[in-house]
Amino acid sequence: MTRAAGVVWRYRDKDNYYIVRANALEGNIVLYKVQNGKRTDLPLKGVGRTYGMKEKVPSKQWGILRLVAKGNLFDVYHDGKKLFEAEDDTFKEAGKIGVWTKADSVVYFDDLQITVL
């Protein structure tokens, strides 16, 4: 069974959006852009393309995945710790936001907060 969940933002349609997801089986957190249906991981600022960051993502317990988007800069946090930054200019304008799960993952979401400054 897959164990992955995340947050999407600047969603235009099913083929164009950003997503950051945590995967308990892979033990990582990855930020992607999906453009014209093709998913690509974004390089980490100051590090390069590493397929996100290794991070323990425990199964069967609550965790906090946080994304801060300011223009083309994205900061990713897990359980209060800043993990990395990424930059991308593909989707510049506001879009929809939402939560995401992969395949047969069983995931619960609670306390989704959105702050616009």
CA dist 31 → 35, 60, 100, 117 (Å): 13, 22, 13, 22
pTM: 0.93
pLDDT digits (tens, 9 = 90+) for 80-95: 999 999 999 999 999 9
Q: Which domains does the chain have, with CATH numbers?
A: 4-101 (2.60.120.560)
Q: Please state the rounded mean pLDDT for residues 109-117.
A: 87
User: Quick check: 115 pLDDT over 90?
Assistant: no
Which residues neighbour 3 within 8 Å (Cβ) at sequence distance 6 or greater?
23, 24, 25, 57, 59, 105
Percent of the residues in the chain that have a pLDDT greater than 90, as a whole number: 87
Query: CA-to-CA distance for 12 and 7, rounded, in angstroms?
Result: 14
